[in-house]
Amino acid sequence: QIPKTQKAAIVESNDAPLRVVSDHPVKQPGELAPGECLVRLDCSGVCHTDLHARKGDWPVPAKLPLIGGHEGVGIVVAVGAHTQDSPVKLGDRVGIKWLAYSCLDCEPCRKGIEQSCEKGKYSGFTVDGTFSQYVVSYVNHVTPIPSSLPSDEAASILCAGVTVYRAIKYSNTHIGDWIVLPGAGGGLGHLAVQYAVAMGLRVVAIDTGAEKKNLCTKLGAEAWVDFKETKDLVGDIKAATGGKGAHAAVVTAATGAAYAQAIDYLRPGGTLMVVGLPAQAKLSADIFFTVIKSINIVGSYVGNRQDAREALDIAARGKVKCFFESKPLSALSEVYEGLEQGKIVGRVVLNMTD
Ligand code: 8ID
Ligand code: ZN
């Protein structure tokens, strides 16, 4: 019952238009290697990372031709022959995240940062991803989806959710602390507002426009700064936080400018979590004040398998809910334009079943 061909969105080169085809081959069960599984996708979120991959604007290029996408949810329909001790079986609903595969044996893997595996494979970047009806992934890395969570609500937890959940977890914050979230109205950011609130933190949201402001406020942000309108970003944040500045910032904007004043609006001992990945940008921090204020600057890269389960569990218990619009796969090009222009509020999730 597994078809020979499928719909898929293919990037042939970084400047050619995206091609949505209906005759892309489906890897058949007999062709799967041990450890691989075939997943029939229900849906896939669209992350700003997919736009970076499509444009080829990062220091490391994606494979070409490329099927992007790394927030997929679907059903396991085949497992490679001779797969030993598979943690998933036929019919299981699973998620495909950015980290498709890690060796589980190199030093980063052994230390729990499998995202930085020496042999890592990345969905929609170094291996084909989820902008297709079927995807090949790896039994040890697909993520079980809690039964109470619908697929379209789970999708963006697999990248956006996991990423901000882990970043907040390692932000050295405690209940009652202030956290600044530049990019708060976007895909990662609007989930960050909710994970932060669920962890008892007080949120200053930074983004632009009435729609994003309303979303952030509704989700529990106590203060809002419009980065396009403010005359004094640092002053506004200090005013919102009782004059002292914030305990942490998780930057999820895809622009270097969003990092510019973070050291100035953090209070002594504060932590800057570096998450947003603007093309070819450098982090510039005043060395004097970084030292004098004892600031921590921490890079945070998606999350490991455990982070993924924790982030999904919190969503399944209703503490965090992805705000998204559903679209067909054929709309992917317009979604990329929307992301480019900063027009997407929350996320877009592509429906793969129609
Ligand atoms: O593991 C990681 N570190 C990781 C995981 C997933 C995604 C990193 N990312 C990266 C993506 O590659 C991308 O560079 O995080 C960035 C954001 O991804 P996203 O949330 O999927 O993008 P979005 O939905 O476009 O949201 C970005 C928001 O930033 C705002 C925009 O208005 C938008 O709402 N923004 C911008 I552009 N400039 C801003 C500024 N100066 C800003 N917000 C505050 N201040
Ligand atoms: Zn992503």
In ligand 1, which atom is closest to the CA atom of 339? Answer: 25
Does ligand 1 lie within 6 Å of residue 47's CB atom?
yes
Tell me which ligand sits closest to the C-alpha of residue 44: 2
Does ligand 1 lie within 6 Å of residue 213's CB atom?
no
* Per-residue pLDDT tens digits for 295-332: 999 999 999 999 999 999 999 999 999 999 999 999 99
| Amino acid in the structure at residue 351 | N
Question: Which single residue is written with the structure tokens 């001790």?
Answer: 85
The domain boundary residue, chosen from 271, 299, 327: 299
Q: Are residues 281 and 225 in the same domain?
A: yes
Average pLDDT, the chain: 97
Mean pLDDT of 99-125: 98
Percent of the chain with pLDDT over 70: 100
* Per-residue pLDDT tens digits for 245-280: 999 999 999 999 999 999 999 999 999 999 999 998
Residue 93's SS3 state is strand
177: in domain = yes
Alpha-carbon distance of 11 to 13, in angstroms, equals 6
Alpha-carbon distance of 304 to 317, in angstroms, equals 20
- Give the CATH number, domain containing residue 32: 3.90.180.10
Q: Are residues 224 and 345 in the same domain?
A: no
65: in domain = yes
Test site for ligand 1: of 114, 168, 188, most ligand atoms within 8 A of the Cβ = 188
Give the residue from 30, 44, 120 showing the smallest Cα distance to 79: 30
CB 95 within 8 A of CB 73: yes
Q: CA-CA distances (angstroms) from residue 231 to 169, 210, 237?
A: 31, 18, 12
Give the residue from 180, 345, 148 showing the smallest Cα distance to 271: 180
318: in domain = yes
Does ligand 1 lie within 6 Å of residue 227's CB atom?
yes
Bridge pairing between strands 347-351 and 324-328: parallel
| Amino acid in the structure at residue 212 | K
The domain boundary residue, chosen from 266, 284, 299: 299
Give, as one character, the DSSP assignment of residue 127. Answer: B
Q: CA-CA distances (angstroms) from residue 185 to 168, 208, 213, 326, 345?
A: 17, 8, 7, 17, 6
Q: Are residues 42 and 144 in the same domain?
A: yes
Which runs of consecutive H residues, i.e. helices, occur in the chain? 48-55, 107-110, 151-155, 162-169, 187-198, 210-218, 233-240, 262-265, 287-292, 305-316, 332-340
The residue count of the chain comes to 354
Q: Are residues 180 and 284 in the same domain?
A: yes
Mean pLDDT of 2-29: 97
Does ligand 1 lie within 6 Å of residue 159's CB atom?
yes
163: in domain = no
Q: Are residues 147 and 45 in the same domain?
A: yes
- The secondary structure of 201-212 as a DSSP string is -EEEEEE-SHHH
Alpha-carbon distance of 345 to 103, in angstroms, equals 36
111: in domain = yes
Q: Whose CA is nearest to atom 24 of ligand 1?
A: 186
Q: What tokens does 334 get?
A: 């317009």
The rounded Å distance from CA 123 to ligand 2 centre is: 10
pLDDT over 90 at 340, yes or no: yes
Q: Are residues 187 and 246 in the same domain?
A: yes
The domain boundary residue, chosen from 299, 317, 333: 299
* Per-residue pLDDT tens digits for 58-85: 999 999 999 999 999 999 999 999 999 9
In a 13 Å sphere around the CA of 305, the CA atoms on its Cβ side amount to 20
The pLDDT assigned to 223 comes to 98
Does ligand 1 lie within 6 Å of residue 257's CB atom?
yes
Alpha-carbon distance of 158 to 42, in angstroms, equals 14
Q: Are residues 190 and 204 in the same domain?
A: yes
- Give the CATH number, domain containing residue 176: 3.40.50.720
Q: CA-CA distances (angstroms) from residue 161 to 65, 121, 166, 177, 321?
A: 28, 20, 9, 21, 10
Domain with 58, as residue range(s), is: 5-157+303-351
Tell me which ligand sits closest to the C-alpha of residue 252: 1
Mean pLDDT of 1-23: 96
Q: Are residues 40 and 135 in the same domain?
A: yes
pLDDT over 90 at 354, yes or no: no
Alpha-carbon distance of 159 to 47, in angstroms, equals 8
- Adjacent-strand bridge partners of 296: 271
Q: Are residues 12 and 149 in the same domain?
A: yes
100-112: b (≥16 Cβ within 10 Å) or e: bbbeeeeebbeee
Q: Whose CA is nearest to atom 33 of ligand 1?
A: 186
The rounded Å distance from CA 306 to ligand 1 centre is: 24
Q: What tokens does 126 get?
A: 């170094």
Give the total number of structural domains in the chain. 2
162: in domain = no
Mean pLDDT of 149-163: 98
Q: What tokens does 43 get?
A: 């849906």
Q: Are residues 292 and 308 in the same domain?
A: no
Alpha-carbon distance of 251 to 4, in angstroms, equals 43
Give the residue from 240, 251, 234 showing the smallest Cα distance to 184: 251
Confidence of residue 192 (pLDDT cuts 50, 70, 90): very high
235: in domain = yes
Q: Are residues 265 and 341 in the same domain?
A: no
pTM over 0.95: yes
307: in domain = yes
Does ligand 1 lie within 6 Å of residue 45's CB atom?
no
Q: Are residues 23 and 145 in the same domain?
A: yes
In ligand 1, which atom is closest to the CA atom of 260? Answer: 41
